[in-house]
Amino acid sequence: MNEAQLQALLEQGENSSVEFKTCSVRAESLAHEIVAFSNTRGGTILLGVNDNGEPEGLSEEKNWEEWMMNVARNNIHPPVTADYQEIFFRENRIGLLQIPRGKDGSYQTVDGKYYVRAGSTNRMASPGALMRLFQQAGLFHYDQTGVAGSSWKQLNSSMLCRYFEQYDWVFDEETSGEQQRILANADILTESGKVTVAGMLVFGENPAKFLPQASILFAHFVGTDPDSDLIDRKRVEGTLTEQIDHTLTVIRNNLLNPSSIQGTRRQEQPVYPDKVFRELLTNACIHRNYSIAGSCVRVLMYADRIEFISPGKLPNTITTDKLKIGVSYAVNPVILKFMDNLRYTDRLGRGLPMVYRESVKKGKPAEFLELGEEFRVILPL
């Protein structure tokens, strides 16, 4: 981790993936944090930072790496293997302890207590919470849950008809009861009649009314940092297909494509082919964590790069290195199914490797980063 990435973590503040601790932390308190992160989705502990996110630095009284590793090995069952790094930031020595997500959700302190991460705090896991930890292996997905206060009347009937046409099904000729049965079988409705999160995002009349976090924020800056002046700013709402298509148009309109003269005509040379931006928008919309309220997908364009920022961490088995060579994963399997049927993806894991190859052709590879509770792709311009 470099200084810029550390600054990004400090700006996020404490959350479900980041915890600040001063060097006065006790071993028992540190063990609680490690257990909670291991039982949830992993995370980063910044040692030498106070609760306000202000660096205070590490004291010279002990070997902090050895001490933290001993806590991870001796104060937790089963022991946790963590990565430790120190970085000098604003004339302070800061320790970074990277906690991986555990394999089975069964980590506990030496006194037999289970903790999970809830927002920026830890809490002792109830039997129900422990069960949810095991469900993270794939037995439960947020996009299959029902949207509070919704019913099938919030769905766009025209979109549904077009969707089912590909199966030779004349949806609008079915009775109301049969339509609801079909929608439930297709995971668009729950058994209780609520619209699923996936159904609302892909077929809803007004998804933002029920899921305000489901939007894309686009911002174009003059310079190379977010403090520079804005050229353009837009919030794109609607169904996922509308968000992807409209944001792609916004990106095109904001890009300055170099050109050359061939004969008597000027030929534009696109910075990147449209398929690169379309893939990054599609990936961000399909695989983000929709349970994180108040956090939307962000596309930030600077003079030297475009950043595609998606709320949520990568699944436990996925690393940023694997994304470069191709891997298929499904944080939201129902959304993925719908978008695959709508020809926005092919489930083969070829999209991000294509993005990486196209960026290499331009002379500088794209960066895939996981910072706190966000995944971002930085595409050089």
pLDDT tens-place string over residues 228-245: 999 999 999 999 999 999
Which two structure tokens, joined as six digits, stand for 124? 């002792």
Distance of alpha carbon 225 from alpha carbon 250, whole angstroms: 20
Give the model's pLDDT for residue 48: 94
pTM as predicted: 0.66
Token pair 């998606």 in the structure block, residue: 310
**Binning pLDDT at 50, 70 and 90, where does residue 330 land?**
confident
Distance of alpha carbon 371 from alpha carbon 309, whole angstroms: 10
Give the model's pLDDT for residue 104: 56
Give the model's pLDDT for residue 67: 94
pLDDT tens-place string over residues 14-56: 988 899 999 999 999 999 999 999 888 789 999 999 999 999 9
What are the φ and ψ backbone dihedral angles of 216, each rounded to 5 degrees? -120, 125
Q: Of all residues in the chain, what percent carry a pLDDT higher than 70?
A: 89
Round the average pLDDT of the chain to a whole number and report it: 87
Distance of alpha carbon 365 from alpha carbon 358, whole angstroms: 8
Maximum mean pLDDT: which of 79-93, 102-116, 261-275, 315-329: 79-93
Give the model's pLDDT for residue 131: 42
The domain defined by 216-380 folds into Heat Shock Protein 90 (3.30.565)
CA proximity to 117, closest of 190, 197, 42: 42
Q: Which amino acid is at 277?
A: F
Greater confidence, 312 or 319? 312
Q: What is the DSSP letter of 22?
A: -
Distance of alpha carbon 319 from alpha carbon 312, whole angstroms: 14
Distance of alpha carbon 106 from alpha carbon 69, whole angstroms: 19
Question: Given its phi and psi angles, is residue 105 left (phi above 0), alpha (psi -120 to 50 degrees) or beta?
Answer: left
Distance of alpha carbon 24 from alpha carbon 47, whole angstroms: 9
Token pair 């190379």 in the structure block, residue: 224
**Binning pLDDT at 50, 70 and 90, where does residue 293 land?**
confident
Q: Which amino acid is at 276?
A: V
Q: Which CATH superfamily is domain 3-135 in?
A: Schlafen, AAA domain (3.30.950.30)
**Binning pLDDT at 50, 70 and 90, where does residue 309 land?**
very high
CA proximity to 169, closest of 286, 341, 336: 341
Give the domain ranges of the chain: 3-135, 142-209, 216-380
CB 58: neighbour CB atoms within 10 A? Answer: 18
pLDDT tens-place string over residues 115-137: 888 778 888 766 545 544 444 44
Q: Of all residues in the chain, what percent carry a pLDDT higher than 90?
A: 57
Which two structure tokens, joined as six digits, stand for 334? 């129902």
DSSP three-state, residue 29: helix
Contact of 49 with 21, CB cutoff 8 Å? yes
Mean pLDDT of 250-276: 73
Mean pLDDT of 79-93: 91
Distance of alpha carbon 334 from alpha carbon 199, whole angstroms: 8
Greater confidence, 303 or 371? 303
pLDDT tens-place string over residues 123-177: 876 654 554 444 444 446 789 889 999 999 999 999 999 999 988 888 888 899 9
Distance of alpha carbon 316 from alpha carbon 80, whole angstroms: 15
Distance of alpha carbon 168 from alpha carbon 329, whole angstroms: 29
Give the model's pLDDT for residue 149: 93
